[in-house]
């Protein structure tokens, strides 16, 4: 595919290949963008922003809803594109397209809700003749740097609110999965957005990422990815608004009164979907010692029932990781944990980029599989003496994106909600729950700012204060 720059689809002499992670075949090529392309993209986006400012809120709503209709028409192609370039199973690819539809629909609705506020200036002495109100206005150009693991919906979470708010957008998709982002860009262009309101520049993040982030014409950077890259972006961006959706090693607490079958199914769903390559994947299961052995006995058969293979085939539940090097890393971390005394109850075998779903029992908090973000198909299981120790273990992390507890005790549920340091808290569900309209974001090293169209729009706009002196 070509990249979209300056209101047209363009190619470059230098290209990068897009691979199918299951079999290593080449799906397509995309241009390798340059720093000159970034400069041209910013100039084009500036012109696009002028055109976006001419659109009313209803215009933006209408265009976004046209985009929704086009996604509906193209959803099977989009789902297959997700699966082929990223490796998630086709059922998850189809679900991602449905979620993209919801994200863009909600963004369209929020375009009509950019409310102003009257400020009661006469509440301060000497201002009886003053009338004040605010205006919420777009920031200008939004840079959207997107990850590989949700190559469609996480692009939608950035460009939907940006366009709804009246901004122009420069998209830098993940190098492994640019095709979904390019096809969503195509949808927006076909829907009728001003041609220069979107740019989608493909290529190496190392080559063009810093050029985008540091450019003075960019007013807002929204990024989803690793904590290390997020920190680099924040240092490079300068005086810009930033939203950082970063990593995690999400804990799931199991208390004695939990339904263990329900917990095992939730652990499997939230720990192994997309081969564990989800920011809010369950990674650390912390189980009350009174039900520890029983939980493992229930969990292992559920995990072993997952069908592994070609992700484009419908019954398959576990496909490849996006890169073989990542599969090697996960395999190494599992081996390191076993060498340090953990028990591998099932899985952990690697065949190229596929790692069989692993359950690592008796994991210690200082093991790498517990301390860092694994981002792969393995869950660790650790015993706790009571809820206080379970919460202490859950909080023993530099991350804080999502956490979960299973209990029938309302007091314990509230204790969990009040004391666990996480941006998203789930009671009687796995950690991997996200409704696309909710405020989504992390604490600590898991980032700053919120996604969800309503909340993203707030961060992609600025307030003007207007005072009428009578």
Residue range 48-66, pLDDT digits in tens: 999 999 999 999 999 999 9
Residue 62 β-bridge partners: none
Query: What's the rounded Cα separation, in Å, for the pair 263 and 98?
Result: 26
By the 8 A CB rule, do 402 and 424 touch? Answer: yes
Neighbours of 206 (CB within 10 A): 8
- The pTM of the full predicted model, rounded to 2 decimals, is 0.96
Residues 6+ apart with CB under 8 A from 116: 133, 134, 135, 136
Query: What's the rounded Cα separation, in Å, for the pair 423 and 431?
Result: 11
Task: Count how many residues are written for the chain.
Answer: 470
Widest CA span in the chain? 77
Average confidence (pLDDT) over 105-114: 97
Q: Do domains 3-246+446-469 and 250-435 have the same CATH topology?
A: no
Sequence-ordered alpha helix ranges (H) in 119-240? 153-164, 178-191, 205-214, 227-237
Is pLDDT above 90 for 177? yes
Region of 274 on the Ramachandran plot (φ > 0 left; ψ -120 to 50 alpha; else beta): left
Is pLDDT above 90 for 116? no
Query: What's the rounded Cα separation, in Å, for the pair 456 and 328?
Result: 36
- DSSP, collapsed to helix, strand or coil, labels residue 468 as strand
Question: Which listed CATH number (3.40.309.10, 3.20.20.70, 3.30.70.2190, 3.30.420.130) goes with 250-435?
Answer: 3.40.309.10
The pLDDT score that the predictor gives to residue 174 is 97
Residues 6+ apart with CB under 8 A from 206: none
pLDDT tens digits, 292-318: 999 999 999 999 999 999 999 999 999
The pLDDT score that the predictor gives to residue 127 is 97
How far from the centroid of its chain's Cα atoms is residue 66's Cα?
24
Query: What's the rounded Cα separation, in Å, for the pair 365 and 367?
Result: 6
| Catalytic residue numbers, as ranges | 245, 279
The pLDDT score that the predictor gives to residue 136 is 96
**Which single residue is written with the structure tokens 């060498």?**
339
pLDDT tens digits, 342-366: 999 999 999 999 999 999 999 999 9
The pLDDT score that the predictor gives to residue 206 is 87
Sequence-ordered alpha helix ranges (H) in 224-323? 227-237, 260-272, 292-304
**Which single residue is written with the structure tokens 């299973």?**
406
**Which single residue is written with the structure tokens 């933006």?**
60
- DSSP, collapsed to helix, strand or coil, labels residue 19 as strand
Q: Is 389 exposed, middle or buried, given 0-12, 13-18 or 19+ CB atoms closer than 10 A?
A: middle
By the 8 A CB rule, do 192 and 23 touch? Answer: no
Average confidence (pLDDT) over 10-22: 97
pLDDT tens digits, 244-280: 999 999 999 999 999 999 999 999 999 999 999 999 9
Where exactly are the structural domains of the chain?
3-246+446-469, 250-435
The pLDDT score that the predictor gives to residue 61 is 98
By the 8 A CB rule, do 323 and 348 touch? Answer: no
Q: Which two tokens stand for residue 50?
A: 């002028």
Q: Which fold has domain 3-246+446-469?
A: Aldehyde Dehydrogenase; Chain A, domain 1 (3.40.605)
By the 8 A CB rule, do 118 and 132 touch? Answer: yes
């Amino acid at each position: 595919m070509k990249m979209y720059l300056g209101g047209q689809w363009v190619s470059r002499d230098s290209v990068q290949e897009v691979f199918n992670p299951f079999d290593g075949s080449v799906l397509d090529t995309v241009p390798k963008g340059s720093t000159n392309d970034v400069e041209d993209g910013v100039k084009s986006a500036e012109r696009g922003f002028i055109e976006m400012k001419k659109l009313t809120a209803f215009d933006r709503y209408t265009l976004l809803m046209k985009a929704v209709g086009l996604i509906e028409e193209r959803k099977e192609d989009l789902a297959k594109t997700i699966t082929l370039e990223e490796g998630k199973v086709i059922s998850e690819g189809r679900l991602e397209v449905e979620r993209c539809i919801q994200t863009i629909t909600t963004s369209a609705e929020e375009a009509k809700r950019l409310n102003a506020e009257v400020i009661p200036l006469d509440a301060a002495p000497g201002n009886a003749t003053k009338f004040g109100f605010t205006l919420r206005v777009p920031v200008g150009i939004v840079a959207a740097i997107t990850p590989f693991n949700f190559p469609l919906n996480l692009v939608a979470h950035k460009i939907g609110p940006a366009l709804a708010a009246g901004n122009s957008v420069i998209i830098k998709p993940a190098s492994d999965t640019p095709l979904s982002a390019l096809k969503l860009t195509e949808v927006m262009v076909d829907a009728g957005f001003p041609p220069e309101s979107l740019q989608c520049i493909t290529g190496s993040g190392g080559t063009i990422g810093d050029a985008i982030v540091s450019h003075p014409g960019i007013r807002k950077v929204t990024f989803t990815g690793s904590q290390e890259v997020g920190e680099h972006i924040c240092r490079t961006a300068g005086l810009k608004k930033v939203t950082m959706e970063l990593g995690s090693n999400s804990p799931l607490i199991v208390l004695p009164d939990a339904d263990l079958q329900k917990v095992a199914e939730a652990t499997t769903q939230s720990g192994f979907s997309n081969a564990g390559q989800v920011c809010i994947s369950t990674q650390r299961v912390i189980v009350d010692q009174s039900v520890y052995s029983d939980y493992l006995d229930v969990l292992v058969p559920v995990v072993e029932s997952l069908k592994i293979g070609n992700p484009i085939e419908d019954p398959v539940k576990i496909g490849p990781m996006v890169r073989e090097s990542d599969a090697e890393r996960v395999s190494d971390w599992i081996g390191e944990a076993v060498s340090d005394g953990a028990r591998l109850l099932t899985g952990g075998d690697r065949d190229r980029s596929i790692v069989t779903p692993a359950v690592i029992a008796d994991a210690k908090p200082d093991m790498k599989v517990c301390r860092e973000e694994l981002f792969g198909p393995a869950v660790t299981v650790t015993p706790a003496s009571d809820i206080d120790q379970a919460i202490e273990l859950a909080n023993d992390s530099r991350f804080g994106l999502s956490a979960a507890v299973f209990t029938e005790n309302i007091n314990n549920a509230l204790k969990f909600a009040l004391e666990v340091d996480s941006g998203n808290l789930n009671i009687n569900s796995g950690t991997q729950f996200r409704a696309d309209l909710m405020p989504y974001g992390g604490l600590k090293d898991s980032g700053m700012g919120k996604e969800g169209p309503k909340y993203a729009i707030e961060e992609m706009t600025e307030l003007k204060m207007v005072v009428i002196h009578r």
